[in-house]
Amino acid sequence: MGPDFHRLAAPDVHRYTAEAEPAKTVSTDVKGGEAQAFVAQMDIPGQWWNVFHSQALNDLVTRALNANPDLEAARAALQNAKESAAAQRGAFFPTVEATLNPSGQKVGTALASPLASGATLYGLHTAQVSVGYTIDVFGGTRRQLESTEAQAEYQRFQVEAAYLTLSSNVVAAAIAEAALRGQIAATRRLIEIQEHSLKLLKDQYGAGQVAQVDVLAQEAALAQTRMMLPPFEKQLAQGRDLLARLAGQFPSDSLNGQFELSSLDLPQELPLTLPARLVEQRPDVRAAEALLHSATADVGVAVANRLPNITLSADLGVVATSISQLFMPGAGFWSLAANIMQPIFEGGTLLHRQLAAEAALREAVAQYRGTVLTAFQNVADTLHAIQFDAQALRAAVDAERAAEKSLEIVRAQLALGDVSYLALLNAEQTYQQAVMAKVQASASRYADTAALFQALGGGWWNRPQEGAEVAENKSRTPAGHDAAN
C-alpha cells in the first residue's frame, strides 16, 4: 500500500553561479597568493585537509575524529538505528513462545471436582508452545521496515555530516589561529615601528625641532596600537580552547602544534563537482533524501492500518495434575485459530493519521528541495569568495607595499625636518591598516578553500572504512566515483 519511493532527479542546472566560473583565480607573488584552478573532474580525497600539507593539522584532525564526543554520539545513534531496523525485520517471522504453568487449586466441597477422584485439593501443570503469525497481506509491515531502514540511512548520513562538520571546524579553527598569530605579529611589528618613531620624536623635541604635543600624540598612537594586542591574544587563547574541545580534550590539557599561515600550503587545484553530482555527495542532502524515503513508507503504513489485519495462531501442549504425567497418553491438547480484524469506526483516527502521513510526505519533499537549494547556494557562495579573496589579497599586498614604502620615506623626511609629525602619523596609520588587511585577506583564501571542500561534500565516499561498512558504502558511492580511490 502507499506510494513507492523514487529518488528525485538531480536539478537540471549546469553551473553554480549566474555567470560562468573562471578557469582559475588571479595570483600574487607572496606566500598563499598562488593562482587556484578549478578542475571539473577532480575527485575529493577522504582526508581532504591533507591538501594544506600541514602535519600538525593532520594530527589534530585525526585526534578530533578519534576522540570528539559529538561524533561518538552520532555513531552510537547510527548503531541504535541499525539495531532498530534489525529488530523490525523480526515481524516477518512467526512468534514462538514456550510456557510452563504449574498451579495449585482447591475447590469447595459444594462444587463438583474436576478430577475423577473427587479431590478438592489438587495441582495442575500445563506446558504448551504457542505460535503466532500476522500475515502482511497489504504490506504494512514491509512499509514499516522500509521506513525504519530509511531512518537508519538518515542516521548514517548524519554521521557523515558530523564527520565533515567536525573536520571542517578543526581546519577553520586552525586557520583562524594562524590568522590571529599573523595579526599579533603584525601588531608587534607596528609597535616596534611606533616606538622607533617615538624615540626619534623625543630626540627632536630635546633638540627643539618639534613641539611636545607631537611627542604626546605619538605616545597616544603607540598606546592605541598596544591596546590592539590583548583582544587578539584573548581570541587566540579562546581559539586554542576551542581546538581542545573539538579534539575531545579539556582546555587544561596540552595541545601540541601551533599554526601559522606560513606553515600552510594553498592548494593550486580545486575540485569543481558537476552540479548533477552534488546531490549525491552532500551528506545533508542524502540525509534529507532518507527522511523523504521514510515519509513515503509511512504513508503506506497508514493506508495498510485501515485495511483488514489477518493473524494466525496455534497452541500445542499437555496438561496434567503432576509433572510426571505431562507426557502420558491423553494429556495433550492443541488449537488452531485465525483472526481477521477490519477497522470499521474509530472516530476518524485512522483516516486522519493517513492524511497526516501524506502531509508529512509533502513536508519532506519541500525540506529536501530546500536542502538542495542551500547546498547549491553554499557552493556558489564559496566559489565567489575564492575568486574575490584572490583579488582582495592582490590589492592588499599592493597596498601594504605602497604604505610601507611611503612610511619609510616619511620617516626619513621627518628626520630631516622636511615634513610634519602629522604626516608620519598618517603614514603609520595607513601602513597599519594595510598590514591587517593583508593578513585577513591571506587567511580568507585558506578558510574559503576549506569551505569549498566542505560545500562539495568532503569526500566521505573516499574515506577509509572498516569491517562490513566497506561493502555497504561501496554500493552507495555517488555516481561516477570509485569508492576504492
pTM (predicted TM-score): 0.83
Q: Among residues of the chain, what percentage have pLDDT more than 70?
A: 95
Task: Dump the DSSP string for 329-371.
Answer: TT-EEEEEEEEEE----STTHHHHHHHHHHHHHHHHHHHHHHH
- Choice among 130-134, 406-410, 432-436, 465-469 with the minimum mean pLDDT: 465-469
Per-domain residue ranges of the chain = 37-89+139-298+355-474
Strands 269-271 and 37-39: parallel
**pLDDT at residue 465, as a whole number:** 64
- Choice among 136-150, 358-372, 393-407 with the minimum mean pLDDT: 136-150
Give helix 283-304 / helix 349-416 axis angle, nearest 10°.
170
- pLDDT band for position 377 (cuts 50, 70, 90): very high
Give helix 421-455 / helix 140-206 axis angle, nearest 10°.
170
Per-residue pLDDT tens digits for 299-319: 998 898 888 888 888 988 888
pLDDT at 85 over 80: yes
The separation between CA 29 and the C-alpha centre of its own chain, rounded to angstroms, equals 36
Grid cell listed for 394: 592582490
Residue pair 131/98 in contact by the 8 Å Cβ criterion = no
- 37-89+139-298+355-474 maps to CATH 3.30.360.10: no
pLDDT at 469 over 50: no
Per-residue pLDDT tens digits for 411-420: 888 777 777 7
Per-residue pLDDT tens digits for 214-234: 888 888 988 998 998 999 999
Query: Burial letters for 318-346: b for 16+ Cβ neighbours within 10 Å, e otherwise?
Result: bbbbeeeebeeeebeeeeeeeeeeeeeee
**pLDDT at residue 474, as a whole number:** 40
